[in-house]
């Protein structure tokens, strides 16, 4: 049975061929992609994922709480860091007002999460350590096309099979 994985990335459609293709071609994973914080939260309420990869700079979507967070930070992906906020509200158990319904219990397990971002690891290190998220890869132009697959593989090795 394929492991279920989720990628929360606002430019996933633009990067689909380069980064998602190795995931599909591996045949090991059933990949779901969502583009916004709102959709990410809804996906975590709908399904149990074995691994969830989050970009730090994601769009808010249509939930008022995410929109407010984004606009309060100047409508800037870089300043808002909604992916980090998503990790915080999910892993700290405060997701209730950020999602229309409760998340699956497994969504609160830090070992299921990884980060793929253009943000430097050093700028995220303290926050990720506080949240106990250890899987990180930098997504820059030089990143190899297997970076997403490798990150899913890393997270999956820490996630017990259902």
**Higher model confidence: residue 82 or residue 93?**
82
Could you tell me if residue 93 is left (phi over 0), alpha (psi between -120 and 50 degrees) or otherwise beta? left
pLDDT for residue 94: 85
pLDDT for residue 143: 74
CB contact burial 33-50 (16+ within 10 A = b; e otherwise): bbbbbbbbbbbbeeeebb
Structure confidence at residue 15 as a pLDDT band (50, 70, 90): low
CATH class of the 3-157 domain in this structure = alpha beta
Structure confidence at residue 5 as a pLDDT band (50, 70, 90): very high
How does pLDDT run across 25-37, given as a tens digit for each residue? 999 999 999 999 9
Structure confidence at residue 162 as a pLDDT band (50, 70, 90): low
Q: Which residues contact 59 (CB under 8 A, 6 or more apart)?
A: 10, 35, 36, 37, 70, 77, 82
Residue matched to tokens 């593989």: 153
Identify which of 6, 98, 12, 115 has the alpha carbon closest to the alpha carbon of residue 56: 115
**Domain residue ranges in the chain:** 3-157
Contact 41, 99 (CB under 8 A): yes
Q: Residue 93: pLDDT above 80?
A: yes
Q: CA-CA distances (angstroms) from residue 10 to 54, 72, 106, 126?
A: 10, 19, 23, 24
Measured at the alpha carbon of residue 135, what is the angle toward residues 159 and 87, in degrees to the nearest 5? 85
Chain-wide mean pLDDT for the chain?
92
Percent of the chain with pLDDT over 90: 80
Q: Write the DSSP symbol of residue 36.
A: B
């Amino acid at each position: 049975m394929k492991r279920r994985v989720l990628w929360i990335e606002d430019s996933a459609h633009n990067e689909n061929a380069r980064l998602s293709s190795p995931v599909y071609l591996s045949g090991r994973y059933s990949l779901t992609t969502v583009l916004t914080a709102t959709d990410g939260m809804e996906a975590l309420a709908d399904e149990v994922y074995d691994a969830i990869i989050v970009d730090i700079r994601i769009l808010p979507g249509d939930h008022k709480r995410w929109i407010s967070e984004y606009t309060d930070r100047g409508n800037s992906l870089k300043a808002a860091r909604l992916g980090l906020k998503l990790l915080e509200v999910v892993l700290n158990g405060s997701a209730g007002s950020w999602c229309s319904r409760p998340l699956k219990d497994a969504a609160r397990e830090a070992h299921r999460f990884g980060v793929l971002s253009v943000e430097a690891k050093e700028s995220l290190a303290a926050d990720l350590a506080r949240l106990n998220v250890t899987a990180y890869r930098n997504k820059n132009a030089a990143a190899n096309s297997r970076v997403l697959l490798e990150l899913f593989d890393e997270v999956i090795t820490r996630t017990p099979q259902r």
